[in-house]
Amino acid sequence: MFSDFAFGIFQESIQQYHIKDDVYQSFENPYPKDDVAHLLYRKNWIDTVQWHYEDIIRDPNIDPVAALTLKRKIDASNQDRTDLVEYIDSYFLKKYESVQTIEKATINTESPAWAIDRLSILSLKIYHMAEEANRTDASPEHLKKCEDKLAVLLEQRTDLSTAIDQLLADIEAGSKYMKVYKQMKMYNDDELNPVLRGQK
C-alpha cells in the first residue's frame, strides 16, 4: 500500500534527522531524483526541520532579531512544503493520466498529496509523542497522558492511511478523479501583498 511505503520513508527521514538533531545540518537525499521516494523523503525532511524551528521560536527568551530571522526561515519552509506537495500531486497526475473516469466519478475534498502531507506531519507527532511517553525524567502522570495520546495518534494513522489508499484505488479505478489547484499564496507575492507592494 502506498501509505505504508510513504510512512516508512517518513520514518527514515525523521530517524536520519535526529542523528544530529540540528536544524542547520546539511541535507542529503538517498533516493534518485526520478523516484517518488525522493519527493517523499524531501517533503518529510522539510516538515521535520520546520517542526524544530517551531520549537525554537517558542523560546520565551529568544532574541528578537533571531526570532525574526527564524520567522523568515519558517515562511520559506512553508513555501518549500507547498511546492513539494504540488510535485507529489504531479507524480499522481502523471501516473493516472490514462485512466478513464466513469460517468458518475466524483472529486475528493483534497488531492492525494495533501492527504500525504497530513501523514507526514502525523509521522512527526507519533515520533515525538513516543519520545515523551518514554521519558525517564517525567512523572507517571505525564507518561500516562502521553501514552494515551500516542494511542490516538496511532489510530489516526490507521484511519488516514486507509483513506489515502482507498482514494488512490478509487482514482485508479476511475470512480474518483484528481483536480489540482495551485496554491495561490498572496502574502509572499510582491504584487498581491499590499505591504510588500508599498515597499516598491
* 12-61 pLDDT tens trace: 999 999 999 999 999 999 999 999 999 999 999 999 999 999 999 999 99
125 close to 54: Cβ distance less than 8 angstroms: no
* This prediction's pTM: 0.90
Confidence band (pLDDT; 50, 70, 90) for 142?
very high
Q: Decide: helix, strand or coil at residue 24.
A: coil
State the first-to-last Cα distance of the chain, in angstroms, to the nearest integer: 50
Task: Show the cell assigned to 185.
Answer: 499564496
Average pLDDT, the chain: 93
Q: What's the pLDDT at 181?
A: 76
* Residue 52 buriedness (CB in 10 A; 0-12 / 13-18 / 19+): middle
